[in-house]
Each structure stands twice: as C-alpha cells, then as structure tokens.
Amino acid sequence: MKITKHPFGYNCRELFPNVKMIGVFEGGAIYKAFKDEKHYLIIDEGTLADFLDEDDRDLLNQLVKIIEFDSIEELESYLKSKKVNYN
C-alpha cells in the first residue's frame, strides 16, 4: 500500500478517468479506481476546506489522499478494517 497526498482541488479524474464514488462521509467522499493493474482509493476531504484558513495551509495541501493497492483483495481488506461499507 502506498499513500500520496494532494492539495484541495486536485483533479483525480485526469489521472483516473474511470473513478467511481463508493461512499460519502461528513467532510468528503471516497472513490475507487483501477489503472495499470493497480487498485486505488481516493479519499477527498475537500469539503473541509471551507472551514480552514491560511494558518491551516499544511492541511489544505493534503485534503486528497490516493491510496494504491496491489490487489482488489488488499483494497477490500483495507475498507473492512476501516469499517467502510460500499457497493
């Protein structure tokens, strides 16, 4: 598993045109994607940006997390461990 962090407003659809929303939570949404034989979760906490100010610049720069998994089983195990239900 590899995690990369990106700033608020990062356009993950450019990198993952097949992205699909699988859940929402207070403050954001979770997406699933597949590319180059890897499975990905994109956790976008961008709705929190409205509550942050310039003093929180470090948080603004990591509101989108992309988690790379080697297999669908690894991704599903991660979601289960975080108690995320999705379809």
Q: What is the pTM of this model?
A: 0.82
Residue 49 lies in a domain: yes
Quote the number of domains for the chain: 1
What pLDDT is recorded for position 54? 65
Cβ atoms of residues 8 and 27 within 8 Å: no
**Which is nearest to 83 in space by CA: 39, 33, 40, 23?**
23
Structural domain of residue 71, as residue ranges? 2-81
Residue 53 lies in a domain: yes
Residue 87 lies in a domain: no
Residue 86 lies in a domain: no
64-86 per-position pLDDT tens digit? 999 999 999 999 999 999 887 76
27-67 per-position pLDDT tens digit? 889 999 999 999 999 999 876 656 656 666 666 667 899 99
Structure-token pair, residue 81: 């461990």
